[in-house]
Amino acid sequence: MSKVRVLAGTRKGAFILTADGKRDNWNVSGPFFAGWEVYHMKGSPVNPDRIYVSQTSGWFGQIIQRSDDGGRTWHAPGGGQQKSPQGWPMGESNRFVYDSAAAPLTTHQWYDGTQHPWEFKRVWHLEPSLTDAEAVYAGVEDAAIFHSKDGAHSWQELPGLRGHGTGPKWQPGAGGMCLHTIVLDPDDPQRIYIAISAAGAFRSDDGGKSWKPINKGLRSQFLPDQDAEIGHCVHHIAMSPRKPGVLFMQKHWDVMRSDDAGDNWREVSGNLPTDFGFAIDVHAHEPETIYVAPIKSDSEHYPLDGKLQVWRSKTGGNEWEAMTKGLPQANCYVNVLRDAMCVDQLDDCGIYFGTTGGQVYCSPDAGNTWKPIVRDLPAVLSVEVQTLP
């Protein structure tokens, strides 16, 4: 019988939640990396026992952890004793250095409109390769994309993105100027999508060497030019592997859809009670069924009227229905962050999301009913699920 393994990153460590295919009785292990912020953890689709973790701290900086046995043991790759070619000990796993030779370090726009130097802060998102368990991408703050080909021992920037030339117009969102979304196209290994708050979405068609902004159709009222090519606060992008050209986006405000790999976007917020939010995902087997967790507003990061709701559209947007059975419908004032929603691959497609109140919810029936797996974790930053044989 199939199993699922849920990887939850929180403000104070990582947790692993496992269950069989019924997704009813759960085993919870953790905290791993206790006391550290775990922004994201994700398993390799090639080797599910290979899990990469972004462990970070304002005091001690960035650590990358890795498990090769499904989360039973962990190590910081490259963090052990090694010798450099010169014979000196070295450690490389946590070294994220912008490639200033290939793309000179510029400045970006600060909150007050002045220019501010580019500085590495943390890894927001790890995206393992679809074809090679040793290869993984990292989206970082200040915004850039890095790549490791050796299982996270060493990291190299893909400098074409930061060197795109529009960097001085990029600006931080409330959470910082982060590259938070990386989507790999299963049909085209050269095609990568990324999103930055607040610069917008970009696409590479050559494996990350060069990038183009894909923000046509986005409108942002906070921008002097609402239709600007750069500067939109994209919160998350989701894609069905069954229909890679179709993208769904939760923007700061507005839920958007593209049918041409991001070249053009149109709004599909439809009857949503509010189209602000962070998380969005697509059903594993129905590429026109999508899920969002509406949040009241950019000033009030909690559900409308204290009612926690996931909204589902079976029509690829515009027509939405509230999925609330089993979710608190009074006095609930949590947030659902951008990387905190995911779907499993089982036939009836489980949907998962975590909250800043420390709950992780599971719907084993595509959103119809919900149950909390855990209620009292630290604030949940990210949720990923692995479907295992």
Partner 1 sequence: MPHHLRTLAQVSGEVRLAVEDPVTLTRVLNALEARYPVLRGAIRDHDTLKRRPFLRFFVCAEDWSHLSPETPLPEAILSGREPLMIVGAIAGG
**Which residues bind to partner 1, rule: CB under 8 A?**
35-36, 57-63, 76, 78-82, 88-91, 93-95, 97
Give Rg (Cα) of the chain: 20
CB atoms within 10 A of CB 228: 17
Total residues found in the chain within this entry: 389
The nearest distance, CB 123 to partner 1, in angstroms, is: 12
- In the block, tokens 């239709």 appear at 227
The nearest distance, CB 382 to partner 1, in angstroms, is: 20
Q: Which is nearer to partner 1, 3 or 95 (CB)?
A: 95
- The helix or strand, by DSSP H or E, that contains position 6, with its residue range, turns out to be strand 3-10
Q: Are strands 276-282 and 290-295 parallel, antiparallel or unpaired?
A: antiparallel
Q: Which is nearer to partner 1, 48 or 79 (CB)?
A: 79
Q: Per DSSP, which regions of 192-318 are E strands? A: 192-197, 200-204, 212-213, 234-239, 247-251, 255-258, 266-267, 276-282, 290-295, 310-313
* Nearby residues of 192 by Cβ (< 8 Å), 6 or more positions away: 137, 145, 182, 183, 184, 185, 203, 204, 207, 208
Q: Which is nearer to partner 1, 92 or 365 (CB)?
A: 92
The nearest distance, CB 356 to partner 1, in angstroms, is: 17
Q: Are 138 and 125 in contact (CB under 8 A)?
A: yes
The nearest distance, CB 93 to partner 1, in angstroms, is: 7
Q: Are 93 and 78 in contact (CB under 8 A)?
A: yes
The pair of structure tokens assigned to 118 is 């580019």
Q: Dihedrals φ, ψ of 173, to 5°?
A: -80, -170
The nearest distance, CB 60 to partner 1, in angstroms, is: 4
Q: Which is nearer to partner 1, 90 or 379 (CB)?
A: 90
The nearest distance, CB 94 to partner 1, in angstroms, is: 5
Q: Which is nearer to partner 1, 60 or 222 (CB)?
A: 60
Q: Which is nearer to partner 1, 13 or 277 (CB)?
A: 13
The nearest distance, CB 361 to partner 1, in angstroms, is: 29
Q: Which is nearer to partner 1, 91 or 217 (CB)?
A: 91
